[in-house]
A and B are shown apart, each in its own frame.
Chain A
Amino acid sequence: MRAWLRILALCLGAMTGAPGARAHEIGTTQVQLTLGPGDTWSATITTAPTALVNKLEAAAGQALSRDLTAERVLAALPAYTAAIAAQVDLRADGAAQPATVAVERVEMPSDVTLPAFVVLRADGPLPPGTHAVTWRYGLVYSTYGVVFTDAAGGAPQTRWLEGDAASPPFALAANAAAVSLPQLAAQYLQLGFLHILPEGLDHILFVLGIFLLTTRLRSILVQVTAFTLAHSVTLGLTMYGVISLPSRVVEPLIALSVAYVAVENIMTARLTPWRPLVVFAFGLLHGMGFAGALADLHLARRDVIPALVSFNVGIELAQLSIIAAAYAAVALVCASGGRKDKPWYRRRVVIPASSLIAATGLFWTVQRVAGF
Chain B
Amino acid sequence: MAHEAAAGVRPDPSSGGWRRTIDLPSERGASRLIMEELLEQLGHHGWEPSDIFGIHLAVEEAIVNAIVHGNKLDPAKTVRVSCEVTPQLARIEITDAGSGFDPAAVPDCTRDERLEVPSGRGVMLMRSFMTAIAYNARGNSVLLEKRRDPQNG
Q: Do A and B bind each other?
A: no
Report A's interface with B, CB cutoff 8 A.
none
Report B's interface with A, CB cutoff 8 A.
none
